[in-house]
Amino acid sequence: MMQPKGSILELCQVVRDMDSALDHWTRVMGAGPFFVFDVPVLPGQIYRGEPTQVAMKVGFGFSGGLLIELLQQTNDGPSVFTEMLDRHGDGYHHVMLRVPYDEGVERLSREGYAMAFSGTMPSGERFALFDTRSGNGGYVELMEMSPAIEASLERMHTAHQQWDGVSRPVRSMAELA
């Protein structure tokens, strides 16, 4: 079963070498298969109140009901991702709460956490990362969970449940369409 609503859905690791990270998470950790794709600079990205341009390569794969995200920034735009890489190297970056976007923004803001990075997906869903390092050592992501995103998550989770742990550990995101 995928993580239920109201819980932590995702754990993200920032990495400098996507291929090595994919090998570790599939072969050593048993997560996957991972669906990998390039994310171009999305319009309207805001980093700590200023416009930025961040491009990245991401891979998504499940471990049980938890979604694992591997994220490699592919340009030099200022971001919350390079903040962590520059200070700590590869590793833990954020968790994503599976809560309604506006509810999550209100909750994290009420707790005194600042929105550090935000934008909009090409399909219109808003996303934000709050700087919660003082509380959990990383960031918390919020994402508007449209029916299309929910359907993609379900397809990735089904692929995980049916995966033999060996064959085709890395796949294109286009296979989910």
pLDDT average per 10 residues of sequence, the chain (177 residues): 94 98 98 96 94 97 98 97 95 98 98 97 94 97 96 97 97 91
Pair type for strands 114-120 and 126-131: antiparallel
Q: Which pTM was predicted?
A: 0.96
User: If DSSP states are collapsed to H, E and C, what string results for the chain?
Assistant: CCCCCCCEEEEEEECCCHHHHHHHHHHHCCCCCEEEEEECCCCCCEECCEECCCCEEEEEEEECCEEEEEEEECCCCCCHHHHHHHHHCCEEEEEEECCCHHHHHHHHHHCCCEEEEEEECCCCCEEEEEECHHHHCCEEEEECCCHHHHHHHHHHHHHHHHCCCCCCCEEEHHHHC
Quick one: pLDDT at residue 43?
Answer: 85
pLDDT score, position 153: 96
Q: What are the domain boundaries of the chain?
A: 8-163
> Does domain 8-163 correspond to CATH entry 3.30.590.10?
no
